[in-house]
Structure 1
Amino acid sequence: MANVRKSPGLVLSAVGVGLLVWLLSFFSIAGSNAQSAGELPVEDLMVMSGEESHAFRVEVASTDAQRAQGLMHREQMDADHGMLFVFDAEGERYFWMKDTPLSLDIIFAAADGKIVRIAERTTPFSEKIIPSRGDARFVLELVGGTSEKLKISTGDRLISPAIFPEE
């Protein structure tokens, strides 16, 4: 950033205001491109399990590129964090653990957020295909063993802004 000399009587001209607006919009666009290139949107997600609710902070992967990257190469993740994969429609989903050093619980959920399958404690770096075994629109990845520890099971429900957006 250029050095700006402050002057007591400085009055911004129309050119100065125009330049300031242009710079602010440039940095705003650059910031939004950085999010699409690397950082993912983050939101709160609840798993409703009977009378219990479990809160997680999840990154949301909703584009092909974001879903393809997933949690690859991540070596650690907090127990109350995860990643939510959002697809345009329900369908059979297939995941694998190639290039993923963490053991994960992969939770497949229907369009209404209802859990249809949980693949617990997946094997890091495995190329074995992990199918949803039913139609799923959402896939939640949590640290391996979380489902067992919190007694999350099929039939429980995921709730988040990405699953139930405000109309």
Structure 2
Amino acid sequence: MKTVFAAAVAMLFLSGPVAAGCSEGLAELRWDGGSARFAVEIADDGAERAQGLMNRTTLPSGAGMLFIYEQPQTVAFWMKNTLIPLDMIFVGADGRVNGVHANAVPGDLTAIPGPPETLMVLEINGGLAERLGLTEGAELRHPALDQNAALWPCS
């Protein structure tokens, strides 16, 4: 798995604007009333996306996994062999969060569908999105987005 993950990087709760620029190893989010950034592992091919966060017993609070697809599409996740509860944040091609599934149950084989036209999915610790106030409409910034279409481009 392509690891651009920095376990030592803690999630930052930001009160003001995030500094310009982007890093492949960071997923930055902003919304009315808040912002956050996560050190992310990238899952951008079939094998990496299939493995996901399976068989892990912990996930640092400032970390996550960013699933990146080649084009916007309908996606579905399940929690087979996943040992920790996760929030799934579904993101469209422009970087807008278009769905949040909270507290996916470890081991559950029930499909968790994302909205149509999903380009990315950020998985973070279960319950964290609610604690942060992260909801649909938030904007994600990452260099894998088409910077000409992104609501919050890397600059």
TM-score class, shorter-chain normalisation, is: 0.7 to 0.9
**d(CA) in 1 for partners of 2:33, 2:127:** 20
**d(CA) in 2 for partners of 1:56, 1:164:** 20
Which residue does the alignment assign to 2:99?
117
Which residue does the alignment assign to 1:162?
144
**d(CA) in 1 for partners of 2:39, 2:146:** 16
What do residues 80-117 of structure 1 show as CA deviations (whole Å, max 9, x unaligned)?
A: 10000000010111000000001000111101110111
TM-score between both structures, scaled by the size of structure 1: 0.73
Q: Give the partner amino acid of 2:126.
A: G
| 2:65 aligned counterpart, secondary structure | strand
**Aligned counterparts, 1:22-37, within 5 A:** none
Which residue does the alignment assign to 1:66?
48
Instruction: Tell me if structure 2 keeps the 8 A contact 1:56–1:82.
Output: yes
1:152 partnered with 2:134: yes
Select the structure of larger CA radius of gyration. 1
**Aligned counterparts, 1:127-142, within 5 A:** 127-142=109-124
What do residues 23-80 of structure 1 show as CA deviations (whole Å, max 9, x unaligned)?
A: xxxxxxxxxxxxxxx4423401111111421011010111111111100001101111
Q: Structure 2, unaligned stretches of length 5 or more?
A: 6-24, 148-153
**d(CA) in 2 for partners of 1:62, 1:41:** 12
**d(CA) in 2 for partners of 1:72, 1:90:** 24
Which residue does the alignment assign to 2:4?
41
**d(CA) in 1 for partners of 2:58, 2:75:** 24
**d(CA) in 1 for partners of 2:37, 2:146:** 16
1:89 to 54, 57, 71: 71
More helix by share: 1
**d(CA) in 2 for partners of 1:133, 1:46:** 21
**Aligned counterparts, 1:8-19, within 5 A:** none
Query: Following TM superposition, where does structure 1 have runs of at least 4 consecutive aligned residues deviating by more than 3 angstroms?
Result: 164-167
1:107 to 83, 89, 95: 89
Number of aligned residue pairs: 130
TM-score between both structures, scaled by the size of structure 2: 0.79
| 1:148 aligned counterpart, secondary structure | helix
The alpha carbon displacement at 1:134 in A equals: 2.3
Task: State the superposition RMSD in angstroms.
Answer: 1.7
Q: Structure 1, unaligned stretches of length 5 or more?
A: 1-37
